Amino acid sequence: MKAVSGLLEHLDGQVIKGTVEGEISALVYDSRKVTKDCMFVCIKGAVYDSHEHTEEVVNKGARVIVAERSVEVPEGVTLVLVPDTRCALALLSAAYFDHPARKLKVIGITGTKGKTTTTFMVREILEHAGYKVGLMGTIETIIGEKRIPANNTTPESYMVQEYFAQMVEAGCQVCVMEVSSQGLMMHRTAGIPFEIGIFTNLAPDHIGPNEHASFEEYAACKGLLFRQCRIGIANVDDTHFEKVLKGHTCALETIGFSEKADYRASQVELIGRPGYLGVSYHISGKMDLDVEIDLPGTFSVYNSLVAIAVCEHFQVSQADLKEALKVVKTKGRIEMIKVSEDFTLMIDYAHNAMSLESLLLTLKEYHPKRLICVFGCGGNRSRLRRYEMGEVSGRLADLTVITSDNPRFEEPQAILDDIKVGMARTDGAFVEIIDRKEAIRYAIENGQKGDVIVLAGKGHEDYQEIKGKKYPMDERDLIRQVLEELA
């Protein structure tokens, strides 16, 4: 039970009816989960507005209603009006769980690309140095030994605070979390006292209905993190650095290749051998250090620079840093799978044209004998994405194996036919094999010395969605099965 007056203490709200005396049994924002004597927060969604269902909520037993507009409530029920119920939910949730974020060092990472890899990198280094670290991100939430698959990059604010509370209970000292522009715009992170905020990069994405109205709004939402953190660490090389950091209120540090970066990378050397692609470089500025990371490409330099800058604030030794960076791995993000002494195979989540192009251009820098791309596209999604991804793979890969991804309610062959429309704009060679396991078998069986094979699109996903049902399918298992059958 929680005292109503205590929960409302830091809320910008007005009690229109009823009393703030007494206690509530629960804090609820889903009308299906209303319990007797709970506090219910009305949320207006894209489809459903619970302001219109307060009678039903009260009949189920809610004793306090928090709303953005005046609604009818009977005697004995308290009505609190606030300017924004999403923001109110975040602040109420923090109070309901006794402000768990204040007992953690919270690190928030925002940007178009690199959030997931950087999040896991920071966690890996800090854990290696002896800290107990919780994680919230696109792939999963990690609390001690518990791993919870994620539905959103940044969960609803109530869940964020509940996870923080569980992390505190599990003995975590730090939480590193991905912070999406949607999460910032919808106040899911309101009231969190971020110790460090991180900006990786910005490119046009998430712009459209039910997302961001414009690129300017997208950039502005990313920038909100830097008015809510004590220290900001940002990529000074990014074209939109000034736009995102405009109006920041934090102490700012920068990373990049630029002379003005506080943590500056130079002497970059690509390291490639069968089964291994990495990069080494030198850091100067606030640190003097040679590092090597077991991930390919320039963007891996940026991600690791951010992680290194963060870990400086946690007094991580240079020996721990170097050791952790050599072994850091993120499931489904340029994840190397050793299958042969002759060629390199990896799994990556690249599932749109922009991320696929970035990945393939990075891999081409290693001058493979052939670059082979195995990918498909999701059903019931934009057909334009299929044309674009087909064109990118046709232009950059030496061979494309077109296969099935999550067909959902579409026929897989129809999706493959759309991908081929994009392929036809290039002179790229391709084969089409609908069954994903057979597509992987083909790529492995035909792998040659010096090839780099990338399985793109599924990444960390361990299922295939067909006609409304998710069937177990993990590419790591498929690879293992293929190797056993070939042996």
Give 75: exposed, middle or buried? Use CB within 10 Å, 0-12, 13-18, 19+: exposed
Q: What angle do CA 156, 145, 114 make, to 5 degrees?
A: 55
pLDDT greater than 60 at residue 402: yes
Per-residue model confidence (pLDDT) at position 212:
59
pLDDT band, very low/low/confident/very high, at 204 (cuts 50, 70, 90) = low
Q: What is the rounded distance in angstroms from the CA atom of residue 485 to the CA atom of residue 445?
A: 11
pLDDT band, very low/low/confident/very high, at 17 (cuts 50, 70, 90) = very high
Structure tokens at 195: 């110790």
**Residues near 426 by beta carbon (within 8 Å), at least 6 away in sequence:** 391, 394, 395
**Residues near 336 by beta carbon (within 8 Å), at least 6 away in sequence:** 275, 276, 277, 294, 344, 345, 346
Q: What is the mean pLDDT of the chain?
A: 94
pLDDT greater than 90 at residue 211: no
Per-residue model confidence (pLDDT) at position 221:
87
pLDDT greater than 60 at residue 308: yes
pLDDT band, very low/low/confident/very high, at 45 (cuts 50, 70, 90) = confident
Q: What is the rounded distance in angstroms from the CA atom of residue 96 to the CA atom of residue 109?
A: 25
The secondary structure element, H or E, covering residue 23 is strand 23-24
CA 446 to chain CA centroid, Å, is 34
Q: What is the rounded distance in angstroms from the CA atom of residue 28 to the CA atom of residue 64?
A: 10
Per-residue model confidence (pLDDT) at position 205:
56
pLDDT greater than 60 at residue 57: yes
Mean pLDDT confidence for 457-468:
94
Contacts within 8 Å (CB) and 24+ apart, 42-46 = 42/66, 42/67, 42/68, 42/71, 42/85, 43/85, 43/86, 43/89, 44/68, 44/85, 46/210
Summarize pLDDT for 111-167 with one digit per residue, the tens: 988 899 999 999 999 999 999 999 999 899 999 999 999 888 789 999 999 999 999
Per-residue model confidence (pLDDT) at position 327:
80
Share above pLDDT 90 across residues of the chain, in percent, rounded to a whole number: 85
Mean pLDDT confidence for 372-387:
95
The secondary structure element, H or E, covering residue 371 is strand 371-375
Structure tokens at 55: 């009678």
CA 443 to chain CA centroid, Å, is 29
Give 374: exposed, middle or buried? Use CB within 10 Å, 0-12, 13-18, 19+: buried
- Greatest Cα pair distance in the chain: 78
CA 359 to chain CA centroid, Å, is 17
**Residues near 45 by beta carbon (within 8 Å), at least 6 away in sequence:** none
Q: Smallest Cα–Cα separation from 137: which of 151, 126, 124?
A: 151
For helices 475-486 and 436-445, give the axis angle rounded to 10 degrees: 50
pLDDT band, very low/low/confident/very high, at 328 (cuts 50, 70, 90) = confident
Contact 18, 64 (CB under 8 A): yes
Terminal CA-CA length for the chain = 61
Structure tokens at 337: 């799978």
pLDDT greater than 90 at residue 233: yes
Per-residue model confidence (pLDDT) at position 199:
96
Q: What is the rounded distance in angstroms from the CA atom of residue 297 to the CA atom of residue 73?
A: 59
pLDDT greater than 70 at residue 379: yes
Neighbours of 5 (CB within 10 A): 13
pLDDT greater than 80 at residue 207: no
